[in-house]
């Protein structure tokens, strides 16, 4: 083994990571090569520093707090989800109620009672637009009479509302 | 105190029934949720320490270690009996720490950690020197890639052997040896450069 080869192997040799034959070759070389020996000593020293400096800096109090926090967090999801699940259930219930009431409103009405017609083919009066009130102005010289007509969806039913208008005091 | 996975039933297959970690895993999988605390107690000296060695700062390490245990709690039901729990735990810790580094970038390494545990019979001067060496080594570790740092930490600080490190990291042993060689040389060179002329600076 030459110096270059040994220098490349030293980082592994210093911690015993070389297979037996290679490790023996490095050890033999170090006995007569001062530069490689110095390099090996420097590596061994930095490894010692590394291990000495790697002592975890957590105190007993910090470890106890860590232990407590882990347990709290491990059991946290259920307790945290509980109010969310309750809110979601309430929302779903409200949504359900809204949907059911909406369906009831939108449910088809029972068919209108049969009306006897003398002339079935009689032309029907023109149907004004539904739910648009029509106000007829009062004739001149007479007190204003408000007349409000509402046409329902059934062309045979019309709601007429009459009201006597009272002059507003000036 | 034994270190590494050898001390934790390294052989694949059915674990020794006497291993308290494996017993706790089995109890948890059988529905005993209280066994999680046993697992935590048995392993909590390892995970925060490993996270700190990988991240270099206490607060992110504590957060990462908590995340590790939460993942364990959620995933332990699917853990296959007979596999090495501690190797799995190491793998999760390394992954969580790498995720942390990817998301937030490398930690700012504190130049001086004033919260070192005090060693008995250690004088003030020794404590200061130790704190300086710690900061120096942390800076050296900060110069490594995540893969190099993981290999170095698992092999040299956690005491796993090369094949165990390879299993934890999901790479070949030859890759681990290459990462180790580079990492050790970098740490030595970094310390040597910074310690030239410093008192007590040998490497």
Cα–Cα distance measured from residue A73 to residue B69, given in angstroms and rounded to the nearest whole number: 9
pLDDT of residue A130: 54
Binary contact (A74, B137; C-beta < 8 A): no
Tell me which chain A residues have a C-beta less than 8 angstroms from the C-beta of B55: none
Cβ-Cβ contacts under 8 Å, B66 against chain A: 66, 69-70, 73
pLDDT in tens, B81-130: 888 899 999 999 999 999 998 887 655 454 344 444 555 566 778 778 87
By Cβ distance, the residue of B41, B137, B188 closest to A43 is B188
3-state secondary structure chain A: CCHHHHHHHHHHHCCCCCCHHHHHHHHHHHHHCHHHHHHHHHHHHHHHHHHHHCCCCCCHHHHHHHHHHHHHHHCHHHHHHHHHHHHHHHHHHHHHHHHHHHHHHHCCCCCCCCCCCCCCCCCCCCCCCCCCCEECCCCCCCCCEEEEEEECCCCCCEEEEEEECCCCCC
**Chain B residue nearest residue A7, CA to CA:** B185
**pLDDT of residue B29 exceeding 70:** yes
Of A7-21, A26-40, B76-90, B100-114, which gets the smallest average pLDDT?
B100-114
Q: Residue B11's pLDDT is what?
A: 42
Express each pLDDT in A77-89 by its tens digit: 555 556 666 777 7
Averaged pLDDT for residues A111-127: 54
Nearest chain A Cα distance for residue B15, angstroms: 26
Question: Does residue A154 belong to the interface with chain B, where contact is any CB pair within 8 Å?
Answer: no
Average pLDDT of every residue of chain B: 82
- Among the partner residues B52, B152, B177, nearest to A56 by beta-carbon distance: B52
CB-based contacts of A81, cutoff 8 Å, min separation 6:
none
A115 contacts A156 by C-beta, under 8 angstroms: yes
- Measured between alpha carbons, how far is A5 from A71 in angstroms, rounded to an integer? 52
Taking the Cβ of residue B157 and every Cβ of chain A, the question of whether any pair is shorter than 8 Å is answered with yes
Which of A56, A70, A71 lies at the smallest CB-CB distance from B49?
Answer: A56
The answer to whether residues B149 and A43 touch, using CB atoms and an 8 Å cutoff, is: no
Report CB contact under 8 Å: A52, B185: no
> Which residues on chain B are in Cβ contact (under 8 Å) with A74?
36, 69-70, 73
Q: Is the Cβ pair B188, A73 closer than 8 Å?
A: no
* ipTM above threshold 0.90: no
Residues of A (43-102) whose Cβ lies below 8 Å from B: 43, 45-47, 49-59, 62-63, 66-67, 69-71, 73-74
Torsion angle of the four alpha carbons B30, B34, B36, B41, in this order, in degrees rounded to the nearest 10: -140
Tens-place pLDDT, residues B38-96 = 999 999 999 999 999 999 888 999 999 999 999 999 999 889 888 889 999 999 999 99
Residue B162 CB neighbour total at 10 angstroms: 19
**Higher per-residue pLDDT: A140 or A100:** A100
Q: Dig out the tokens for B197 from the structure.
A: 């002329």
> Sign of dihedral through CA atoms B89, B90, B96, B97?
positive
Task: Mention every residue, 6+ apart, whose C-beta is less than 8 A from residue B101.
Answer: B55, B107, B146
Q: What is the predicted pLDDT for the residue at B111?
A: 38
- The structure tokens listed for B127 are 């404590």
Band (B6; pLDDT cuts 50, 70, 90):
very low
CB–CB contacts below 8 A, A to B: 116
The mean pLDDT of A101-107, rounded to a whole number, is: 65
What values do phi and psi take at B134, rounded to 5? -60, -45
List strands edge to edge, sheet with A145-151.
A134-135, A145-151, A158-164
Give the model's pLDDT for residue B132: 81
Quote the pLDDT of residue B2.
Answer: 46
Mean pLDDT of B146-165: 94
Task: Give the nearest partner residue to A11 out of B116, B117, B185, using CB atoms.
Answer: B185
Residue B95, SS3 per DSSP: helix
- pLDDT of A46-93, one tens digit each? 999 888 888 888 888 999 999 999 999 888 755 555 666 677 777 888
Judge whether B116 is closer than 8 Å to chain A, CB to CB.
yes
> Does the pLDDT at position A121 exceed 80?
no
Structure confidence at residue B10 (pLDDT): 41
Partner residue facing B184 (CB), from A14, A67, A73: A14
For residue B195, the cross-strand partners are: none
């Amino acid at each position: 083994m030459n110096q270059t080869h040994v220098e490349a192997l030293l980082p592994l040799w210093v911690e015993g990571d070389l297979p037996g034959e290679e490790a023996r070759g490095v050890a033999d070389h170090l006995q007569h090569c001062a530069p490689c020996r110095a390099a090996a000593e420097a590596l061994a020293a930095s490894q010692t520093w590394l291990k000495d400096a790697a002592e975890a800096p957590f105190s007993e109090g910090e470890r106890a707090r860590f232990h407590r926090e882990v347990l709290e967090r491990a059991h946290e999801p259920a307790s945290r989800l509980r109010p969310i699940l309750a809110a979601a259930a309430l929302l779903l219930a409200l949504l359900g109620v809204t949907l059911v009431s909406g369906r009831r409103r939108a449910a088809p009405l029972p068919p209108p009672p049969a009306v006897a017609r003398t002339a079935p083919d009689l032309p029907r009066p023109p149907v004004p637009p539904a739910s648009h009130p029509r106000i007829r102005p009062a004739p001149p010289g007479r007190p204003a009479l408000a007349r409000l007509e509402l046409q329902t969806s059934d062309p045979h039913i019309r709601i007429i509302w009459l009201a006597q208008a009272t002059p507003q005091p000036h | 105190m034994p270190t590494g996975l050898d001390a934790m039933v390294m052989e694949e297959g059915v674990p020794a029934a006497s291993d308290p970690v494996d017993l706790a895993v089995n109890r948890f999988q059988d529905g005993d949720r209280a066994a999680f605390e046993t697992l935590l107690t048995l392993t909590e000296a390892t995970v925060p320490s490993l996270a700190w060695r990988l991240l270099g700062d206490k607060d992110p390490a504590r957060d990462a270690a908590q995340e590790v245990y939460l993942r364990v709690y959620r995933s332990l039901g699917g853990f296959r009996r007979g596999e090495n729990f501690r190797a799995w735990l190491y793998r999760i810790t390394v992954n969580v720490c790498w995720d942390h580094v990817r998301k937030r970038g490398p930690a700012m390494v504190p130049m001086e950690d004033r919260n070192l545990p005090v060693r008995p019979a250690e004088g003030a001067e020794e404590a200061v020197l130790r704190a300086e060496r710690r900061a120096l080594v942390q800076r050296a570790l900060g110069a490594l890639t995540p893969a190099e740092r993981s290999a170095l930490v698992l092999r040299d600080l956690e005491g796993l052997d090369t094949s165990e490190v390879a299993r934890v990291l999901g790479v070949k042993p030859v890759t681990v040896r290459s990462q180790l060689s580079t990492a050790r040389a970098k740490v030595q060179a970094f310390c040597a450069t910074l310690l030239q002329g410093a008192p007590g600076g040998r490497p």
